[in-house]
Chains A and B, each alone.
Chain A
Amino acid sequence: MNEPEIKARVLEIIKSIAPELEEGELRADRPLRDQIDLDSMDWLNVLIAVHEKLHVDIPEADYGKLVTLDKLVAYLRDKLAQRAA
């Protein structure tokens, strides 16, 4: 799966949790949770959906690396590439 595909899947997941999200208003290089008001339960639901749909389990210790949409997508790209290798 390439990066644009991963990004589309992640946006789909976020939209299922925050349906009011306007993609055009989301800055991929700014902190994600502040922009779309994801509380800790919403965030956990995003990660559960990532686990179910992309089969990537993100440990809690890595949450700090996933602040922006760009960083989350890059993280998933690396994890998926590692698995494919």
Chain B
Amino acid sequence: MIEFKLPSLGADMDQGKLLEWKVKPGDVVKRGQVVAVVDTSKAAVEVEIWQDGTLLEQLVPIGETVPVGTVLATLLQPGETPEQAALHKREAPAARPAPKPAAPAAAVAAPSAAPLAQRRPVSPAARKRASELKLDIDKVAGSGPHGAVTIEDVEKAAARAAPAPADRYAEMRKAIAAAMSRSKREIPHYYLSETIPMQRAAEWLARENEKRPVTERVLIGALQLKAVALALAKAPELNGFWLNGAFQPASGVHIGIAISIRQGGLIAPAIHDVDKKSLVELMRALGDLVSRARAGSLRSSEMSDPTITVTNLGDQGVEAVFGVIYPPQVALVGFGRLETRPWAEGGELRAVPLVTASLSADHRASDGIRGARFLAELRERLQHPEEL
């Protein structure tokens, strides 16, 4: 039997509210499939499963908020029978010994209160709870006998009501505050910066984009991302996690992209295997990620496994950014604006587009010399844009 647990969706998230089941008991699921949608303080996250199986039982009803690690559902492994699973269950009891029945489908908020509905029995406790939750009791559908509205119906209806944007912003602010305070409390940051000439990259990109239709144009930010991913090969101590007092290198390069949300706030979901993607693939992934992050629709794998973060504040016009590391990651790379300034090279002074790249790194996991090697490699990679 497989236990499908709520995964961790980043350092600033320790619980989630189940919004939707995408599969029902008896459905066959494939590795990588989205099986549920969970609301966090930052976004509605589509939670994927990483094993093949058949859904046996949903253990958490819609609307319930549960901590990370809670078993959300049980699944049969391919070839396993429900009897074998029951045997397994007796041997190793699940984290939730008393599974609750799935929420009855009838208990959704009625679109409009029909006159008849007002005569339904409503328990005094349910009425009181509805008033506490500032919910219109007439709009709550009842699941009890004769359509009676129970306290449970009220709570489920309240859970379903989408949080107001102001609440969402306040929640996101709190989550950012918690993660960033933890970072500055626990991580001894060191900072390095390097001015990188971008003439070759900018000229190469202009020539490339001239040949491409607008739908396939590449932004200089994508070049920078790819260069970061490739340069990390020279500094693996910057790509991974600090967990339980030790550095754990990551197996892939999954770059968290700091994306500002228009209504305020910030989210940094990952693009996976950036070092293996072509620039066009990277642009597509970036465009898709930005639009989904802003629409508040991300996947659990994007939230849970960035191995390093990149922030680019060049569009906002700053020269350089020295960021705060997102734990348990150990490094953050920042890019400022692209600007033409005087630059001396080979004894000559010329006007050259330049960008300041910075590195914030965790001194527990790496030393300045490694960070310096990374920035030197990043500069070098950006001098050979055709190889990115």
Contact = CB atoms under 8 A, between A and B. Distances in A.
Interface residues of B, number: 18
B290 A59 contact: no
A19 to B, nearest CB: 7
Contacts of B348: none
Interface in B311-338: 315-316
B315 A39 contact: yes
A59 B210 contact: yes
Given A19-B262, A20-B262, A40 B315 contact: yes
Most chain A beta-carbon contacts within 10 A, residue among B214, B217, B219, B316: B214
Nearest to A57: B214
Nearest to A39: B315
B286 A41 contact: yes
B97 to A, nearest CB: 46
Nearest to B260: A39
A60 B209 CA distance: 7
Interface string B269-312: 00000000000000000110011000000000000000000000
Interface residues of A, number: 18
Interface in B198-231: 206, 209-210, 213-215, 217, 219-221
B263 interface: yes
B219 A47 contact: no
Contact of B219 (A19, A40, A61): A40
A60 B262 contact: no
Interface of B: 206, 209-210, 213-215, 217, 219-221, 262-263, 286-287, 290-291, 315-316
22 contacts: A39-B315, A39-B316, A40-B219, A40-B221, A40-B315, A41-B219, A41-B221, A41-B287, A41-B290, A44-B219, A45-B287, A48-B214, A48-B215, A50-B214, A51-B215, A57-B214, A58-B214, A59-B210, A60-B206, A60-B210, A61-B206, A61-B210
